[in-house]
Amino acid sequence: MKQKPMEEQDTQSEQYIEVWEDVVRIKDLVISLIICSITTLGGYLIAPNEPPKPLIFGLVGTVLGFIICSIIIKPKRTFEYIGEEE
């Protein structure tokens, strides 16, 4: 519990870490990994056991996971337009 004040400070200013050339929030990353793993593997496992259906279900799960994550997680990027407006 001692570390709490520090962590709180962190969350206010610089809270993101870099993974694969872009910044992410650890909590969101964990959520995304869990969601995509469940939808993908879940799709694979519930599919009828005749190839290639499991793979197709798995892929659909992946797309589903991607869409869910894109909706519930906000990208960590800010925009600024510079120069003249057209």
Partner 1 sequence: MDISLILELVTASVLGAVLYTLIGIAPGTDETAVLAPVTLVLVLTGFEPIVILAFFISAIVAKKLTDSIPVAVAGIPGGVMAAPMVDHAMVLKKHGLPEVSIRKMASGSVIGTLVAVPLSLLLASVIAPFGDEIKNYASQIFFGGAVFLALMAKNRWLALAAILPFAILIQGLRHLYWGIGIVPEGTTVFTSFFLGITIGPIILKLFELLNRDIRNKLPRYHKKEIKLQRSKKEKGFPNPFKILDAKEVGTTSFASLTGVLTFFMSPVGMTIFLGETFSNYIKDPVKRASRAISSMDGLTNATYIAGTLVPLIAIGLPLSPMAIGPAIALFKAPPVFTEDHNMHHLLSMNEFVIATVIGAIVAISITYFITIKYAQQICVFVFKYIPHEALLGVFFGLVLMLAYMDAGWLNIAGVLLIGIVAGTLHRWGVNYGVQFMVLYSAPWIMSWFM
Q: Which one, 8 or 79, has the nearer CB to partner 1?
A: 79
Q: Which one, 48 or 51, has the nearer CB to partner 1?
A: 51
47 in Cβ contact with 58 (< 8 Å): yes
Burial of 67 (0-12, 13-18, 19+ CB in 10 A): exposed
> Could you list the residues that contact partner 1 (CB under 8 A)?
10, 13-26, 28-29, 31-33, 35-37, 39-41, 44, 51-52, 54-56, 58-59, 61-62, 65-66, 69-70, 73-86
Written as one letter, the residue type at 60 is V
Smallest gap from residue 16 Cβ to partner 1 (A):
5
- Determine the Cα–Cα distance for residues 45 and 65; give it in Å rounded to an integer: 15
Smallest gap from residue 27 Cβ to partner 1 (A):
9
